[in-house]
Amino acid sequence: MLFMVEMLVDIPNSVPAEEAARIKADEKAYSQALQRSGKWPHIWRVVGQYANVSIFDVESNDELHTLLSQLPLFPFMKISVTPLARHPSAI
């Protein structure tokens, strides 16, 4: 199942810089592992925002929820999920 996932990150200023840096490093490692596994085949930065648009290729809604909720930045994210289906004009 394919999903478009939009993630907007907002880390509060109250989070110490060292803690924010650690969380971001953990996020990068986790997301790259998912990319290598094929579960997260596409990720694009949204210009001018601390945000991304990604494509996930997972077995179920539950699997997507589990993967997203395990993101280290999850507590600081606003996430929008859109299920995708193949377009009949696609070649």
**pLDDT score at 6:** 98
User: Residues of the chain whose pLDDT is less than 70?
Assistant: none
pLDDT at 2: 98
DSSP character string of 16-69? -HHHHHHHHHHHHHHHHHHHHHTSS-EEEEPTTSSEEEEEEE-S-HHHHHHHHH
- Reading the block at residue 35, the tokens are 């990319």
Architecture category of domain 2-84 in CATH: 2-Layer Sandwich (3.30)
Question: What per-residue confidence (pLDDT) applies to 20?
Answer: 98
Distance CA 17, CA 32 (A): 22
- Separation between Cα atoms, residue 88 and residue 85, nearest integer Å: 9
